[in-house]
Structure 1
Amino acid sequence: MSVRLSAKEKEVAILVSKGMKDKEIAQTLYISRRRVGELVASIKEKWNIHHRVEIGIRAYYYGLITVEIAPREENCLQRVKQKSVVF
């Protein structure tokens, strides 16, 4: 069951999902760092989560963000295959 976020909470959730810190989010949205912290706390409370990284997971789950997979690089795969790693 999804819990509705305000428009500003959605913006913050998207930026948190991109790995931005509160200071960067505040500068991007022209709001105070304190307000960003309040919005992050509100998102966590509404979604019943405890860790910031979970915001990205939920944002993906609820369709706020999409994930792009980088194309395969053949050269990279060849280098990995040539090296043997022993654990």
Structure 2
Amino acid sequence: MQQNINLSSQEIYVAQLVSEGKTDGEIANTIFVSKRRVGEIISNIKNKWNISTRVELGIQAYRSGLLKEKTFS
């Protein structure tokens, strides 16, 4: 499923950070925007993907291939 095609590079990065469990505040500090702007970006992603929760966002990011597999040692 290639639904990430409609996302900007910033939206893709935010989707990845949300999927890692980052809070809006943590994301804001990472990408140097306000928490309000992060909320707007997440809302835009949800609208584009026709979803309503952060959990669904994480699932869709995974299904779209946006998440890199992490290995633990």
Could you say which TM-score interval applies, normalised by the shorter chain?
0.7 to 0.9
Shift of 1:66: 3.3
Shift of 1:4: 1.2
CA distance in 1, matches of 2:61, 2:50: 13
Q: Which has the higher contact order (CA 8 A, sep 6+)?
A: 2
- Calculate the aligned-residue CA RMSD, in Å: 1.7
CA displacement 1:20-77 (0-9 Å, x = unmatched): 0000000011111111000000000000001111111011111100344768xxxxxx
Matched, 1:14 2:8: no
CA distance in 2, matches of 1:53, 1:33: 19
CA distance in 1, matches of 2:70, 2:13: 19
- Structure number with bigger Rg: 1
- Tell me the matched-pair count: 71
Point out where structure 1 has 5 or more consecutive residues left out of the alignment.
Answer: 72-87
Runs of 4+ with deviation above 6 angstroms:
none
Identity in percent: 51
| TM-score, normalised relative to structure 1 | 0.73
| TM-score, normalised relative to structure 2 | 0.87
Q: Select the structure that is richer in helix.
A: 2
The SS at the match of 1:66 is: coil
